[in-house]
Amino acid sequence: MTAVPVAIDLVSDTATRPTAAMLAAMTRAPVGDEQLGEDPTTAALEARVADLLGKEAALFLPSGTMCNQIALVLHTRPGDEVICAASAHVYGSEGAGVAVLGGALIQPIACPRGIFGPDELSAAVRRPKMRAPRSRLVVMEQTSNRGGGAVWPLATIRAVAGRAREHGLAVHMDGARLLNACVASGVAAGEFAQPFDTAWLDFSKGLGCPVGAVLAGPKDFIQEAWVWKHRLGGALRQSGVLAAACLHALDHHVDRLAEDHANARLFADRAAAIPGVRLDPPEIETNIVFLDLSSAGVDAGTVSARLRRSGIRIMVEGPTRMRAVTHLDVSRADVERAAEGLAQALAGAD
């Protein structure tokens, strides 16, 4: 039996294909050898992101994971501790990179929606003791992916960053979906990034690019980040073709994130009306919807398999938990169809 092709892919906002206009921009890009500092399009992208985030310098990297890993390794020394939400990507989804590459530990804070406050940070910070790890860095994830796309409010970011400074900690933003947060809240990227030493943007999520992320921070930090970029095999050659896609996305794919947010809300409203489906968390702030099927009487794997037969993909996150993410390649009609498919999958028999 041949598999049904995926018509509506809500597994992740990484599912986007480059648009024709993006591919055209890529073919026009002036390029050179990036490792030699000779790729003008990559340099233009780095300058643009540094400016957008209000930082001195920026560095193009192949992925968001590499942005996090390089930043965490540079902010810490072996034996140090990084504090972040228990749901954070740096904790659960990066192959224990900071332990492997930097010899540092992570102390996770259990918190609803992946957002914690200054007092929770203070409670997590180690008192200086010879035998204790040294608290060194706090990471905030904007938006919080496993927190259901929740937006860290600017006031919370400022309060946590301010408290971090009092404790002598550095502050890093995992900004994989920072621009979703900006579009949802009306707060500028530079304002969100201002309290952080380092911050980065992912271009391969809602912005719709095939590859790319940019890490921004102080000039000397970014110079050191270059050493790690080489070390990890992340230095590139004619990366301008990729950077051109990112520049195109900054011009054309930012404001439209509002459509993804509206589609996520529509899907969530339709899904929540299906018996046995609950939203967890209940508020949909950006493009991520978590479904709790614990009272549906059918497990997530079965629902997913039934959906697949209708050409719909929604991620299985746990035995009774699923995640749907909207993006550039799903329309309003698609999410309506996906919600109908979900209702049938829950009602249907195998």
Ligand X SMILES: *Cc1c(COP(=O)(O)O)cnc(C)c1O
Pick from 41, 87, 145, 239 the residue near ligand X by CB under 6 A: 145
Q: How far is the CB of 11 from ligand X (least distance, A)?
A: 12
SS3 per residue for 286-320: CCEEEEECCCCCCCHHHHHHHHHHCCEECEEEECC
Q: How far is the CB of 274 from ligand X (least distance, A)?
A: 27
Residue 110 has a CB neighbour count (10 Å cut-off) of 9
Q: Kindly indicate which of the ranges 51-59, 201-209, 216-224, 231-239 contains the residues binding ligand X, using the contact rule CB under 6 A.
A: 201-209
Residue 147, SS3? coil
If phi over 0 gives left and psi between -120 and 50 gives alpha, with beta otherwise, what is residue 332?
alpha
Size of the site for ligand X (CB under 6 A): 13
Residues between 271 and 330 that touch ligand X (CB under 6 A): none
Residue type, 238: Q
Residue 198, interface with ligand X (CB under 6 A)?
A: no
Could you say whether residue 174 binds ligand X (CB under 6 A)?
yes
Nearest-approach distance from CB 94 to ligand X, in angstroms: 7
Of 332, 192, 330, 189, which is closest to residue 250 (Cα–Cα)? 189
Question: Residue of minimal CB distance from ligand X?
Answer: 64
Distance of closest approach, residue 5 Cβ to ligand X, in angstroms: 24
x/- mask, ligand X, residues 54-73, rule CB under 6 A, reads: ---------xxx--x-----
Q: How far is the CB of 271 from ligand X (least distance, A)?
A: 21
Spatial CB neighbours of 185, under 8 Å, sequence gap ≥ 6: 151, 153, 154
* Residues 175-194 interacting with ligand X (rule: CB under 6 A): 176
The residues in 202-221 that bind ligand X, with binding defined as CB under 6 A, are 202, 204-205, 213
Four-residue CA torsion sign, 225, 230, 231, 234: positive
Q: Hey, which residues between 87 and 106 contact ligand X (CB under 6 A)?
A: 89
Task: CB nearer to ligand X: give 89 or 136.
Answer: 89
123 torsion bin: left (phi>0), alpha (psi -120 to 50), beta (else)? alpha
Distances (CA, A) of 177 to 3, 91, 121, 181, 286: 32, 17, 22, 7, 9
- Cβ 222 vs Cβ 215: under 8 Å: yes
Select 65 or 135, whichever has its Cβ closest to ligand X: 65
Tell the smallest beta-carbon distance from residue 8 to ligand X (Å). 21
The contacts of residue 270 (CB under 8 Å, 6+ apart) are: 335, 336, 339, 340, 342, 343
* Least distance in angstroms from the C-beta of 185 to ligand X: 17
Identify residues 104-143 at the interface with ligand X (CB under 6 A): 141
- Contacting residues toward ligand X, per CB under 6 A: 63-65, 68, 89, 141, 145, 174, 176, 202, 204-205, 213
